[in-house]
Amino acid sequence: MHVMRPFRFLTDTSEHHDGPGLAAFARRAESIGYSALVMPDHLVAQYAPIPFLTAVAAATETLRVGTFVFNSNLRHPALLAKDLATVDRLSGGRVEIGLGAGWNKPEHDAIGIPFEPVGTRVAKLAEAVRVFKGCFGDEKFSFDGRHYTITDHDGQPKPVQRPHPPIFIGGGGKRLLTLAGGQAQIIGLAPRLTKDDEGRPRIDTPSLTAAATEEKIGWVREAAGDRFDELELNSYPAGGPMVLTSDARGEARRRADRLRERSGVELTVEEIMESPHVFIGSVRELTQKFIDLRERFGISSFLLDDMETFAPIVEKLAGA
């Protein structure tokens, strides 16, 4: 039996707004009822997260700001903790800290940061989380890890949210979800990544299914123990862009065909339709799907990939 948490909807933007444009976009998201505006963290043509979050927070009153997600390999966690605590104070306590182990090898290669094996990256992320929590704590702390060493450091400033802003960790594999279950407040359920014949990451198609999601939540539950009911579960449209359509099954068939062409794995229309990572259908059908996913899995937080198109769903369900 899941605790029925209120629905929260997140949105993002890939547009390079100017200052007034970003402020208007953020205020529009706030007025619709989105809970947070988030952005990824990559060395591609996008804004840097911290200035972006600061600008969004300054333009709004209640909208939360966060990342989906920081690559923990690109910054020292003590420095990032200082930046985020500053934004939390300036925003009156509206920061959410999305953290990941990094997955995109070319951007590491481009700036000479080693792209280590996944086990090492997850271990490094686990240490980073401990450094974050130490920096946000009330007193000086020390930490002697394999990747980070902290000596009598009192992180300043302290965030408004105590003991710290909510930490979001997502993934599709057992190692990362076990870490998330033990340390995070928001758990992002994602498909696993594999590699194609040229070594590039791609989605493990079976990991999109409802059955795979049940397994992932089991890993989180085992790691979280008694605190499982305190966690928020999140999903996002990893299985392709959200589509508003009156022919959901036809679109699901086309989606299944594309997945088969890329991966060689066949999913049925029913598996596509019930996937927590595929959102296609009418406003009524998608509204019901969000309700069903919360009832079946306890997923109450969703990143939507088009702020305006899915506004009617947010206006109906947000906070309910």
What six digits make up the tokens of 72? 């923990």
> Tokens standing for 166?
């909510």
How far, in Å, CA of 263 to CA of 249, rounded? 21
Residue 147 vs residues 60, 72, 127, 193: alpha-carbon distances, Å:
37, 12, 7, 24
Amino acid code (one letter) for 225: G
Nearest Cα residue to 318 out of 1, 2, 10, 3: 10
CATH architecture of the domain covering 8-317: Alpha-Beta Barrel (3.20)
Rounded to an integer, what distance in angstroms lies between the CA atom of residue 300 and that of residue 310? 16
Taking the C-alpha atoms of 103, 104, 109 and 114 in order, what is their torsion angle to the nearest 10 degrees?
0
The answer to whether 39 touches 49, Cβ cutoff 8 Å, is yes
Torsion of CA 170, 171, 174, 178, to 10 degrees: -10
Choose among 124, 10, 18, 31: nearest CA to 73: 124
Predicted pLDDT of residue 249: 96
The answer to whether 124 touches 101, Cβ cutoff 8 Å, is: yes
Structure confidence at residue 103 (pLDDT):
85
The phi, psi pair for 310, rounded to 5°, reads -105, 15
Strands (E), 114-208: 141-144, 149-153, 167-171, 186-189, 193-195, 201-203
Contact status, residue 67 vs residue 87, Cβ threshold 8 Å: no
Q: Are 276 and 187 contacting, i.e. CB atoms less than 8 angstroms apart?
A: no
pLDDT at 199: 60
Residue 104 pLDDT: 84
The Cα-based distances of 203 to 101, 173, 175, 206 in angstroms read 16, 12, 17, 9
pLDDT score at 105: 87
Q: CA torsion sign, 150 to 156 to 161 to 163? A: positive
Domain assignments of the chain as residue spans, ordered by start: 8-317
Q: pTM (2 decimals)?
A: 0.94
Q: What H or E segment, with its residue span, contains residue 73?
A: none
Instruction: Split the chain (320 residues) into runs of 10 and give each run's mean pLDDT.
Output: 87 91 97 97 90 97 96 93 98 97 87 90 96 97 96 98 97 94 97 73 89 97 96 96 97 94 91 97 98 98 97 97
Residue 218 is classified by DSSP as H
Q: Smallest Cα–Cα separation from 93: which of 130, 66, 123?
A: 66
Nearest to 237 by CA among 168, 307, 304, 309: 304
